Structure 1
């Protein structure tokens, strides 16, 4: 693997004045994650099957960010056009590119220096660099060919050759990076940032990821140690990915036709009180109700009613998928960041005229979504009240339990803690202290290589809480309670001893 170099060597420059279309779609509304998604659109158009997003860290500080793909690369005759502000290529049907500004607008919204390094399947390499401080006369640096080869041949961890070429986009002087060299603070920044990137890419690219057409990874390279850390893969986050619909009559397709155009609305109703990440999504379920627009399988717009109705907590289960084809593209406009669709004046009339095969209208759908939500709330109120969870539970687990179960007012919580037991029993019920004590001899076999702590083993603790909570009620244990505890003790102790034996053999 070649050594990372901080300086990009260049040999001359080429004059690239802006295209007349330059001002058609430039926007500064990108976040880091939307900017990366825009770059990945280009990788998909280049037939890439894998993309790697890499943060580069040196002397504790974050220095650069890369996005590498295994697509077909950019031919030398095309790279100047690709780097021209507003330069347009020939977009084929289904291309995700649109304005001729995506790579430049996305990059310069996040960094002051953009370097594009590419190699075609026949091995021809080329590279260009824009730097905002020296771009006033629109002169674009030509990157030295040997450096291009060094960069594209770095260890990107691709599992396949993809389309046979490679393109590497490098950002330097990234404006959104934390300025500190304190490793703990940098790590906190990376953890939060990588999580946002994975969530956003998992959402907007979920169709590509789910069908295996694309894999996206994020990792961090520490130049001082010459090491690349663990890589994280974006998982599909399907906003329609429920296991069972909330209403058995859905999903339902409503179709509107006008002037030879056909607009299909795939109307979905989520089950009430779902805890799936695909339902909650960043921002929450209430904010994410409404319309989801796709173009060429890429999610462009996630939620909101665009004047069709108003957001309402009672409609939070309602989501409608709309695929924008070239035939109906004139009904919509898209912002350059590809994060928002604006509907035209005819859209609302088309929606009102839409009908399903059984004659249902958009109004029927909204009423069904609202009634499904109301029924789900009624069922939750019928659940038996329980004692609240206390020490030993992650805050997020407590919240999840509280969302699903009503608590008995004025009662002390049930704690689940570890301590060393004298015997082999897995747990002890201590009614006096209202605590379930777990035998510490089994702790490591349960949590594996994870670090132990007050709130560890959340799965085991949640199951024990649901199983045993009611034995803390009343003034004494009845015969049935004692028999249940004995039964649970025998089965769970046998299970945990079996787990301990398996982990010891391994």
Structure 2
């Protein structure tokens, strides 16, 4: 048997790998993964359509690379995906730097510095096409110092790496206004990085706090869980897969009526709340995949507040069928079986949060204004005939008036504007009949009227206790305190 050495033809392979499907924002995020692995704490992204050669540069203050390390970094397939990696490593296939960069540009330059030692390498697709070989360019000192971004960004650092993209054909070819187009595209990058690296930007325990600037403006973390405002739906869980921990945290976003405009915008508005519900998969606290239930639950309006954070170590990459772009991952059955239990509970909790306006109305204690009855074809909502205010009203009516009132209540129950309410809720409309302060004031006035009407009742104390447990009066601390004083007196 004869063995033939068949190396790939460089121009064809390198042009082909440009079509792996990287977006600009996922390509930039892939470069930042390398910076984090190199222990960087500051990353400076610069872009300009106005230079003689429009560019995007990504500078970090990490460890930098030796001559051998930068050669390996620029080699295609420099590390096997089967190798055991450092627990902080965010890479996998040894392709990210090259495939991510050259998916956006035709000329990639990497300059790295460790003290006084500086090394620079360049892949230029036009040069490779002309020569027909794997022509990696090694820049000399004069060529390095002639690069403006080196002089203004990397030169002053003790150590670090500068990644420079030029010949931005994918972004700028055919553009009528390159400045507007680049600014718009880089704004997408800003939003993407704010979400994907939000735990690094916020500085969670156990990881180095990261600062990312874009053209001098700091990127603020975008927390998809609104931690501090959301409800932790259940206790955090941890289960072991092949000896490695997988940690799960479940969050319930506040009802849309309790979100500020800024919070709604951060969550993506109307589309974002529905589209981004579900699992958020983190690998070493870097967000990989989000806004999916992995076919374990259907996306719907009633579960749109539910978000589940799953932390997995890179040691389990082989189970997740993670792609080169780190933008798709599929959980294995062994993990799915553990997550399925959580899905049912958190989606049910989200339904309750949508069904009731606030947390206080979820309680089954007391007497509600509305009662829900399950029937064969669904559910029926009726006004609660046992409500204390309705009973007091009926005591003042004769039989004919009671009949008229009952007819009116049935008419109201049978003509609820459910379709319009559903449309309004889907469009994030504020479906609140009263502002909170107005509603409380009206509730206080109603309680005062009730107290005046039962002043001579022998069942007065029992009726006051009933009011204290009745919706909506039980929802207001001021009313409960007022009724408690009435009992004491």
Question: TM-score band, normalised by the shorter chain?
Answer: 0.5 to 0.7
Which residue in 2 is equivalent to 1:111?
105
**Does 1:302 find its partner at 2:290?**
yes
**Are 2:124 and 1:131 equivalent residues in the alignment?**
yes
Equivalents in 1 of 2:242, 2:42: separation in Å?
Answer: 41
* Residues 1:156 and 2:141 aligned together: no
Match of 2:165 among 162, 171, 176: 171
Provide the residue aligned with 1:52 in structure 2.
44
Q: How does 1:72-471 map to 2 (within 5 A)?
A: 72-88=63-79, 91-120=85-114, 122-135=115-128, 136-151=132-147, 153-156=150-153, 164-179=158-173, 185-211=177-203, 213-219=209-215, 231-245=216-230, 247=231, 250=233, 252-256=235-239, 262-273=245-256, 274=259, 275=261, 276=263, 277-280=265-268, 284-326=272-314, 328-352=316-340, 361-376=342-357, 403-404=429-430
Q: 1:178 to 1:251 in 2, by over 3 A?
A: farther
Shift of 1:109: 0.8
- Note the C-alpha offset of 1:29: 1.5
The equivalent of 2:60 in structure 1 is: 69
Unaligned runs of 5+ in 2: 1-6, 362-368, 370-426, 439-489
Does the C-alpha gap of structure 1 residues 179 and 327 become closer, same or farther in structure 2, counting only changes over 3 Å?
closer
Q: Which moved more, 1:236-245 or 1:266-275?
A: 236-245
- Give the Cα separation in 1 of the matches to 2:111 and 2:217: 24
Supply the distance in 1 between the matched residues of 2:63 and 2:102 (Cα, whole angstroms). 24
Residue of structure 1 in register with 2:31 after alignment: 39
Q: Distance in 2 between matches of 1:200 and 1:77?
A: 32
The offset of 1:308, in angstroms, is 1.4
CA contact (8 A) 2:59 2:162 kept: yes
Structure-2 separation of matches of 1:170 and 1:83: 13
Change (3 A) 1:62 1:367: farther
Report if aligned partners of 1:43, 1:69 keep a CA contact under 8 Å in 2: yes
Moved more, 258-267 or 329-338: 258-267
TM-score in terms of structure 2 length: 0.63
Structure 1 vs Structure 2 CA RMSD: 3.7
Deviation for aligned residue 1:201: 0.4
In structure 2, distance between residues paired with 1:346 and 1:404: 42
In the TM superposition, what whole-angstrom CA distance separates every residue of 1:409-432 from its partner, at most 9, and x where no partner exists? Answer: xxxxxxxxxxxxxxxxxxxxxxxx
State the 1:348 CA deviation.
2.3
The 3-state SS of whatever aligns with 1:130 is: strand
